[in-house]
Amino acid sequence: MLPWQTLRADQQFSAQDLVFVVSQGTLAERIRAGGAGIPAFFTPTAAHTLVQDGEIPVRLDKSGAVVEKGRKRETREFNGRTFLMETALTGDVAILRAWKVDKEGNCVFRYATKAFGPIMAKAAKVTIVEAENIVEKGEIHPNEVDLPGIFVDRIVPSTAEKNIEVLKTREEGEDGSPPKATNEAQERRNRIARRAAKELKPGYYVNLGVGIPTLAVSFLPPDSTVRLQSENGLLGMGPYPTKDEVDPDIVNAGKETVTLLPGASCFDSSESFGMIRGGHVDVSILGALQVSSVGDLANYMIPGKVFKGMGGAMDLVANPDNTKIVVATEHCAKDGSSKIVQQCSLPLTGARVCVFQVDRVQGTLTLTELAPGVTVDEVRAKTEADFAEADDLKTME
């Protein structure tokens, strides 16, 4: 069964609908380019994946069979790296919500609501803004304008309450320390996260995936200067809020409520993914379904399971020369199969991007640390991929 065959067309779409699955950063840049009059651009995101080959379908029939595949991307080599050509994306109408809008159309967005609103407004023929607060001309200082009125065609008052999709809170006085292990599975997750945290040096800018990666920061010292970045446009994220601190406009990329630390900043998604693709994020910690001996990573699709898209993962691994990719995952899947494989059988998130240490040039794995009580023979028995042992093989703390 192909992985997208669980996307039953009769559940959400008809056979006449086209559904394009795009990485989040590429989507943001396509929209930004559309608004700026740039017809196309080259990006390293999704190189050597199904996206490059045009193998992700855009149309299914009612049985889930592929009717039409995606578009194979034109590629170009720059400085020894493969880049894909992506085209600009525009729309007839953009509907967005802003916190404050004056009668000139100038808009102010709060926190994470900047993510896609401003760039979508610029890429549409007609932009309709739902305003939480409508004020007179001149009541918004020019330095506070996030979206100039030239991009706005209609203003309507907001009538709907904001929803919080994933409410996460902490108790008053909790300091974000790691969860206590109440079972063997949680102890394994804590051990993996504790080891991943050792890759985060003072002053680093870090992006965390969901699951085990989010636990890593709880093992940092209280005075840590590591700063967390979120793809939806936050830099300087703090812990979950207390009930009194909850703000529906301050959420992370997983739509969870979070807080912002002193010195934090907010920006739109094209800015956020520019930081990521540009290599300005020092470390990205991701989960995985499979990692190969050459550092290929697969973490967004399992055949026969619901396929929701790849989110921002393809962008996060697009510049491994400048952003260290740390995979925080259990060694074996639930069925006992190895996640560390000679060659990935699942669709790739990124090629040659990734404690084994991966030499992405030579395509080799080196075992550098062992968990307490684990032997090299046990690791070999549970690892499909070939690997070497480090001369100074250590026991994980």
Give the residue among 88, 150, 81 at the shortest CA–CA distance from 320.
Answer: 81
Calculate the alpha carbon distances from 339 to 384, 385, 392 in Å.
Answer: 8, 9, 24
Decide if 312 contacts 352 (C-beta within 8 A): no
**Cβ-count burial 363-382 (b if 16+ within 10 Å, e if not):** ebbebbbbeeeeeeeebeee
Residue 177 lies in a domain: no
d(CA 189, CA 171): 22
For residue 365, give the 3-state DSSP assignment. strand
Per-residue pLDDT for the chain (397 aa), expressed as one digit of tens each?
233 334 443 445 555 667 788 899 999 999 999 999 999 999 999 999 889 999 887 887 777 777 888 899 999 999 999 999 999 999 999 999 999 999 999 999 999 999 999 999 999 999 999 999 999 999 999 999 999 999 999 999 999 889 999 999 988 777 667 777 788 888 888 888 999 999 999 999 999 988 888 889 989 998 999 999 999 999 999 999 999 999 999 999 989 999 999 999 999 999 999 999 999 999 999 888 888 887 788 877 665 666 667 788 899 999 999 999 998 888 888 888 888 888 887 777 877 665 556 666 666 788 888 888 888 998 898 888 888 888 888 887 7
Residue 168 lies in a domain: no
Give the residue among 117, 185, 111, 107 at the shortest CA–CA distance from 150.
Answer: 107
Give the torsion sign (CA, 102, 95, 51, 334).
positive
| Last residue in a domain, options 87, 116, 133 | 87
Residues 372 and 389 reside in one and the same domain: yes
Residue 362 lies in a domain: yes
Burial of 391 (0-12, 13-18, 19+ CB in 10 A): exposed
d(CA 90, CA 168): 35
Residue 174 lies in a domain: no
Residues 104 and 82 reside in one and the same domain: no
Residues 226 and 323 reside in one and the same domain: yes
> DSSP states of 285-308 as a string?
EE--SEEETT--EE-S--TTS---
**Cβ-count burial 120-136 (b if 16+ within 10 Å, e if not):** bbbbbeebbbbbeebee
d(CA 337, CA 244): 45
Residues 96 and 238 reside in one and the same domain: no
Residue 121 lies in a domain: yes
Residues 117 and 205 reside in one and the same domain: no
Residues 241 and 338 reside in one and the same domain: yes
Give the residue among 277, 319, 310 at the shortest CA–CA distance from 49.
Answer: 310
> DSSP states of 140-195 as a string?
S-GGG-SB-GGG--EEEE--S----SB-----TT---PPPPP-SHHHHHHHHHHHH
Residues 35 and 99 reside in one and the same domain: no
d(CA 141, CA 154): 21
d(CA 396, CA 376): 13
| Last residue in a domain, options 51, 68, 87 | 87
Residues 244 and 386 reside in one and the same domain: yes
Give the pLDDT of residue 10: 43
Residues 201 and 214 reside in one and the same domain: yes
Give the pLDDT of residue 175: 67
Domain at 80, CATH number: 3.40.1080.10
| Last residue in a domain, options 25, 56, 87 | 87
Please give the structure tokens belonging to residue 330: 């259990």
Print the domain residue range for 45. Answer: 3-87
Residues 98 and 66 reside in one and the same domain: no
Residues 189 and 81 reside in one and the same domain: no
Decide if 351 contacts 49 (C-beta within 8 A): yes
Residue 331 lies in a domain: yes
Residue 171 lies in a domain: no
How many helices and strands (H and E) does the chain possess?
9, 21
Give the pLDDT of residue 53: 92
Please give the tally of structural domains in the chain: 3
Residue 128 lies in a domain: yes
Give the pLDDT of residue 322: 93
Q: Using alpha carbons only, what angle is made at residue 23 by residues 21 and 24, rounded to the nearest 5 degrees?
A: 115
Residues 299 and 382 reside in one and the same domain: yes
What is the set of active-site residues?
231
